[in-house]
A and B are shown apart, each in its own frame.
Chain A
């Protein structure tokens, strides 16, 4: 019988990613309710040394595949490695991050295990001994409670939503042979172009400062960039601003852009079209700055400022600078 709560931990350049600790903590909670073990799978090259860190967040055992063909991440190699160790151990639950890597890998595993998966969950619990996953659908316009009738019951967790809580367990490292079949490694990463701006990705940012049509043009974003620099935030944009060519497409927040869940989302000159709200409603705190008091964004905002953003934002940046000094 399938047993245990497993996670697929993520690392890049030899460092565990934050989502790995969020996964570990969440798995620990579920496993404690079931009275079962938490195991992690970690794949890469030269990564055995970092595996133990997962123990601090509640992982009992870390299955490590250390092989040059597992670095950098490719779907083929990682799917083969993870599928092998998961099949051999038959866990009840398998969690991954709803990161670019987790989403790429999880679908492949669904195919290999012929099982079900709940994507981009914002909550997971145990009900009657089974996983119950809660996730936004229609980009958050409604939520679904998902049950899975096959094993492993799979879910990907939205980054930044689940707390990473220290809860030390053994974190015992168990090496395994990923048994990679070189003939099946079809995709090749030819080049990795790193973003050198130092900017945190929107989906991982703690604070997002976003601008919409009210920014009036690309030059309007200068004040948002300044505010973002003070707060250590990442700048986002509404679809209207992206479609107008004011901001790159990678900055778009919304149903057809990125889904973000920062601690603080500051919407400037964004009216709050439903497709935008869909992309940011799971933010912990929302601030709206807009001169139109009737703008729908105010129905979602924890704090609203009805005024000219070109006057408020620079003042707000000054105030924040003072407070943070």
Chain B
């Protein structure tokens, strides 16, 4: 089976995000960069499919030079090879541009199933998997929490508001991974050593023959709206008094209950 897993390097969930004074982006100093947590679920599922059914896992990543570290992490987990799409022109790329680059790279290799994270926790756009599927002209199932290989297709669970769907999707297809799909492994020390020797093909936009034009652009980054300082409820300093005061405020002042 030919399996592709797309990964992105993002700031760690604990990272404080500071907007540059001119609003042109975020301050990258001091940020710890990690593999997007949802992509980790995709890589793990790719490895499990390979271990059960045989085949090869290729990691594809759009990102600057530092993103090589994330590709190596996936290789250390057990993936076989990587494609690193690295070009300064992709900085701040939107979903369409990113998916176009991924599609160009993936079209050149055999692919039965392509994993992506359901969203990246930096721009939170949650689009790349679906755009990629459209550009590859293959079906998609997004936000998947369970996957079962069924010969030439997969059967997956997709939670939606108030229900869960069991969906069958034939190969080739794109699957986007949600938390719950699996518990990603840590790279072993021998895995890390081996990863250093695994092949990673580095390509720029020219080599892929894709445009780097963005359709959507962040014209300005702004800090989140500040919330006015809240009220600490003291009342008569008993739990009962505080509880009564809180209920009254929510009813009469906030009018939310």
Residues on B with beta carbons closer than 8 Å to the beta carbon of A189:
165-167
- Does B19 reach chain A (CB closer than 8 Å)? yes
- Does A29 reach chain B (CB closer than 8 Å)? no
Residues on A with beta carbons closer than 8 Å to the beta carbon of B257:
207, 231, 264, 320, 323-324
- Does B134 reach chain A (CB closer than 8 Å)? yes
Which chain A residue lies CB-closest to B139? A186
Query: A-facing mask of B23-39, CB < 8 A → 1, else 0?
Result: 00010000000000110
Residues on B with beta carbons closer than 8 Å to the beta carbon of A319:
243-244, 246-248
- Does A256 reach chain B (CB closer than 8 Å)? yes
Knowing A190-B166, A304-B231, say if A146 contacts B217 (CB, 8 Å): yes
Q: How far is the CA of A319 from the CA of B129 in the complex (A)?
A: 47
Q: How far is the CA of A132 from the CA of B167 in the complex (A)?
A: 36
- Interface residue stretch chosen among A44-52, A169-177, A310-318: A310-318
Are A117 and B169 closer than 8 Å at their CB atoms? no
A104 to chain B, nearest CB (A): 5
Query: Which residues of chain B from 207 to 240 have any CB-CB distance to chain A below 8 Å in the complex?
Result: 214-225, 227-228, 230-233, 239-240
Knowing A75-B130, A138-B26, A192-B163, say if A145 contacts B218 (CB, 8 Å): yes
Query: Which residues of chain A from 222 to 241 have any CB-CB distance to chain B below 8 Å in the complex?
Result: 231
Q: How far is the CA of A313 from the CA of B220 in the complex (A)?
A: 42
Knowing A193-B166, A285-B250, say if A307 contacts B239 (CB, 8 Å): yes
Which chain B residue lies CB-closest to A304? B232
Query: Which residues of chain A from 139 to 175 have any CB-CB distance to chain B below 8 Å in the complex?
Result: 139-150
- Interface residue stretch chosen among A32-40, A53-61, A247-255: A247-255
Q: Which of A144, A293, A304 contacts B220 (CB 8 A)?
A: A144
Q: Which of B11, B17, B143 contacts A104 (CB 8 A)?
A: B143
Residues on B with beta carbons closer than 8 Å to the beta carbon of A252:
179
Residues on B with beta carbons closer than 8 Å to the beta carbon of A100:
143, 158-161
- Does B7 reach chain A (CB closer than 8 Å)? no
Residues on B with beta carbons closer than 8 Å to the beta carbon of A138:
11, 15, 17, 26, 121-124
- Does A125 reach chain B (CB closer than 8 Å)? no
A1 to chain B, nearest CB (A): 18
Are A147 and B250 closer than 8 Å at their CB atoms? no
Query: B-facing mask of A284-312, CB < 8 A → 1, else 0?
Result: 11111000010000111111111110011
- Does B16 reach chain A (CB closer than 8 Å)? yes
Knowing A142-B222, A193-B164, say if A264 contacts B256 (CB, 8 Å): yes
Which chain A residue lies CB-closest to B237? A307
Are A143 and B224 closer than 8 Å at their CB atoms? yes
Are B163 and A142 closer than 8 Å at their CB atoms? no
Are B215 and A114 closer than 8 Å at their CB atoms? yes
What's the dominant secondary structure at chain B's contact region? mixed
- Does B205 reach chain A (CB closer than 8 Å)? no
Are A302 and B219 closer than 8 Å at their CB atoms? no
A212 to chain B, nearest CB (A): 15
B130 to chain A, nearest CB (A): 3
Knowing A249-B179, A305-B233, say if A119 contacts B127 (CB, 8 Å): yes
Are B161 and A287 closer than 8 Å at their CB atoms? no
Q: Which of A118, A204, A293 contacts B161 (CB 8 A)?
A: A204
Q: How far is the CA of A275 from the CA of B220 in the complex (A)?
A: 23
Are B215 and A149 closer than 8 Å at their CB atoms? yes
- Interface residue stretch chosen among B51-59, B81-89, B94-102, B193-201: B94-102
- Does A115 reach chain B (CB closer than 8 Å)? yes
- Interface residue stretch chosen among A87-95, A105-113, A213-221: A105-113
Knowing A137-B124, A142-B222, say if A99 contacts B217 (CB, 8 Å): no
Residues on A with beta carbons closer than 8 Å to the beta carbon of B131:
107-108, 110-111
Knowing A108-B130, A111-B133, A256-B179, say if A145 contacts B219 (CB, 8 Å): yes
Query: Which residues of chain B from 130 to 145 have any CB-CB distance to chain A below 8 Å in the complex?
Result: 130-135, 138-143, 145
Residues of B within 8 A of A (CB): 11, 13-17, 19, 26, 37-38, 94-96, 99, 121-135, 138-143, 145, 155, 158-170, 173, 179-180, 214-225, 227-228, 230-233, 239-240, 242-244, 246-251, 254, 256-257
**What are 6 sample pairs from A and B whose C-beta atoms fall under 8 A apart?**
A100-B159, A104-B130, A107-B129, A132-B219, A146-B219, A148-B217
**A-B CB proximity, top 6 nearest:** A107-B130, A111-B134, A116-B216, A116-B215, A315-B243, A311-B239
